[in-house]
Amino acid sequence: MIRAESLNGTGHVADCEAGRRAARRRLLEWIYQGRVRTRTTTGGHHRIADTEVDRLLAPSTAAVRTAARERTGAIVSISGRNQLRGYVDEVRVEGLLAQVRLRIGDQTLTAVITRDAVEELKLRRGDEALAIVKSTEVMVAREAEPPRRPPNRRAAR
């Protein structure tokens, strides 16, 4: 069992605000990796101070870089402005091409890539994926309507 200590006493991780944000599985993983400072009770339970949970949840540039390196695989380095992390919402394969729809926050991004790329990346619905923006701008336009000619008026004689 995991407990979190607060200034007011001791409560379950699920009862403290910081604990709600930390998934139980991730927290256990951190405890076993030694990334979380805990006190072990005589019964073998781990106790975690609220300040320790807050420290873990605070964004750290070193931790972000380390996590990014562990996850990115073949990508060496790319500007954070050019990548969007999301989840695969849909994959439609037809012929040599595939349409991949990513859910990024409350928005959707659709990309058309090759069938080979989908197979190589093993993209499936629900998978975490990274959209890398390559171009600097996207333009959406409609064709202009042809100009209307005024009626042909002959000068009265």
pTM above 0.75, yes or no: no
What DSSP line would sit under 27-54, residue for residue? Answer: HHHHHHHT-S--EE-TTS-EEEEHHHHH
Comparing CA positions, the residue from 35, 17, 38, 37 lying closest to residue 26 is: 35
**For the domain bounded by 80-132, which CATH number is listed?**
2.40.50.100
**Whole-number Cα distances in Å, 90 to 15, 84, 95, 152:** 36, 16, 16, 55
**Whole-number Cα distances in Å, 111 to 92, 119, 128, 135:** 11, 15, 15, 13
**Whole-number Cα distances in Å, 119 to 12, 34, 128, 130:** 44, 37, 15, 16
Domain boundaries along the sequence of the chain: 2-58, 80-132
Residue 105 pLDDT: 86
Model confidence pLDDT, tens digit, residues 124-152: 999 999 888 877 677 778 888 888 877 77
- 66 Cα distance to chain centroid: 16
Model confidence pLDDT, tens digit, residues 38-71: 888 888 888 888 777 677 666 655 555 555 555 5
Comparing CA positions, the residue from 21, 25, 3, 22 lying closest to residue 12 is: 3
Q: Which residue has the tokens 């439609």?
A: 92
Comparing CA positions, the residue from 47, 45, 46, 56 lying closest to residue 18 is: 56
